[in-house]
């Protein structure tokens, strides 16, 4: 469920008068997504996406997110484009929430991606990393090492309710990653949440990337590790070497990983698995039973974390190195 704030037709029509988008003909809420309220609008000109930013998104971060989409689109990356108001601003207010109009991106996300799709994702991710160069604004990754400790503090006392021994295991994992996290790798703007539902395909091709609301500045190879976790594991928890090889080949066809980046993939993948485990764990323990949001199983990412902890060579991800 992704409509937390309702809107009236009259309020929406008044909001649209601040834009050059034509007249409203219809609108409906979009059920997918978990952070913001989203609506599909049809106008006499073009379909649009209206996003109302909810309390989990800091208003001070919005100029970064919206400006980044403008920057990437100007560099040729296929992604939604924020539309300016008549006064030039990208952000307005609707129903008491910060709100933006975003161009509509054709396509659908894949429920069962294949290796060829993973290759396309690798290509698109590398193009995004290159297109992000020169973006003047910066945003630190709030869900990196320090953020993991903050999340863990909120869940640690109840962790063993989810699985016995989890408290001790995660304490050890956090200590290991703090001691071994790479620091001198290439960095830049990363998407940080490029899961299948944030990548659209149309026909046989990738049509664009969406949902940049976790984007930040961090290690580029960390973004690759997030995609390995999101795209290359099967429902039974096994790592699909064919998909991993395709994703990495796609990425390196545009931006080859350095030897240091390749060597760091097991640690980075371990860290990104922990990041999504911790956010899922917190939601699992704190989301009320009657909430409309479907809770995601944190143990899925615990199993991925354990896989990465046992990796002894980047070849196990499908990456060949001399």
Dump the DSSP string for 174-212. HHHHHHH---SS-EEEE-S---GGGEEEETTEEEEE---
220: part of which helix (H) or strand (E)? helix 220-231
pLDDT, residue 206, reads 97
pLDDT, residue 245, reads 97
pLDDT, residue 58, reads 87
pTM: 0.93
State the pairing for strand pair 97-103/216-219.
unpaired
Structure tokens at 41: 């609008």
Residues 6+ apart with CB under 8 A from 39: 3, 7, 27, 28, 29, 30, 49, 50, 51, 52
Structure tokens at 306: 């354990």
282: part of which helix (H) or strand (E)? helix 259-286
Q: Which residues pair with 219 in a beta bridge?
A: 187
Q: How many CB atoms lie within 10 A of CB 295?
A: 13
pLDDT, residue 5, reads 77
Residues 6+ apart with CB under 8 A from 134: 71
Structure tokens at 99: 């709100």
pLDDT, residue 34, reads 61
Q: Which residue has the tokens 């944030």?
A: 198
Gap between the Cα atoms of 237 and 171, Å rounded: 23
pLDDT, residue 73, reads 96
pLDDT, residue 321, reads 76
pLDDT, residue 37, reads 86
Q: Which among 204, 217, 318 has a CA at the least distance from the CA of 266?
A: 318
Rg (CA), the chain: 20
Phi, psi of 194 (to 5 degrees): -85, 70
Q: Which among 269, 273, 288, 281 has a CA at the least distance from the CA of 166?
A: 281
Per-residue pLDDT tens digits of the chain, which is 322 residues long: 455 678 899 999 999 999 999 999 999 988 765 678 889 999 999 999 999 998 778 889 999 999 999 999 999 999 999 999 999 999 999 999 999 999 999 999 999 999 999 999 999 999 999 999 999 999 999 999 999 999 999 999 999 999 999 999 999 999 999 999 998 999 999 999 999 999 999 988 999 999 999 999 999 999 999 999 999 999 999 999 999 999 999 999 999 999 999 999 999 999 999 999 999 999 999 877 765 567 789 999 999 999 999 999 999 999 987 6
């Amino acid at each position: 469920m992704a409509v937390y704030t309702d809107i009236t037709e009259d309020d929406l029509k008044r909001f649209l008068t601040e834009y050059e988008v034509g007249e409203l003909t219809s609108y409906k809420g979009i059920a997918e997504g978990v952070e913001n309220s989203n609506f599909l609008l049809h106008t006499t000109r073009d379909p649009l996406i209206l996003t109302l930013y909810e309390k989990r998104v800091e208003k001070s971060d919005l100029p970064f997110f919206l400006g980044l989409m403008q920057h990437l689109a100007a560099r040729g990356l296929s992604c939604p484009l924020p539309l300016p108001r008549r006064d030039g601003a990208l952000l307005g207010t609707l129903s008491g929430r910060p709100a933006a109009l975003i161009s509509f991106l054709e396509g659908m996300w894949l429920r069962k991606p294949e290796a060829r799709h993973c290759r396309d994702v690798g290509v698109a991710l590398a193009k995004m990393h290159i297109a992000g160069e020169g973006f003047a604004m910066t945003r630190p990754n709030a869900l990196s090492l320090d953020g993991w400790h903050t999340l863990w503090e909120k869940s640690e006392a109840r962790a063993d309710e989810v699985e016995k021994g989890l408290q001790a295991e995660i304490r050890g994992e956090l200590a290991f990653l703090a001691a071994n996290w790479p620091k001198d790798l290439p960095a830049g703007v990363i998407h940080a949440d490029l899961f299948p539902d944030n990548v659209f395909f149309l026909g046989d091709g990738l049509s664009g990337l969406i949902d940049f609301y976790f984007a930040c500045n961090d290690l580029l190879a960390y973004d690759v590790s997030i995609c390995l976790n999101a795209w290359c594991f099967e429902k039974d928890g096994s790592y699909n070497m064919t998909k991993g090889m395709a994703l990495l080949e796609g990425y390196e066809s545009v931006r080859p990983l350095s030897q240091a980046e390749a060597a760091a993939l097991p640690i980075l993948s371990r860290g990104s698995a922990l990041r999504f485990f911790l956010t899922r764990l917190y939601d699992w323990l704190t989301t009320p039973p009657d909430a409309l949001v479907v809770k995601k199983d944190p143990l899925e990412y615990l199993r991925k974390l354990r896989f990465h902890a046992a990796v002894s060579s980047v070849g196990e991800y499908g990456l060949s190195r001399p």
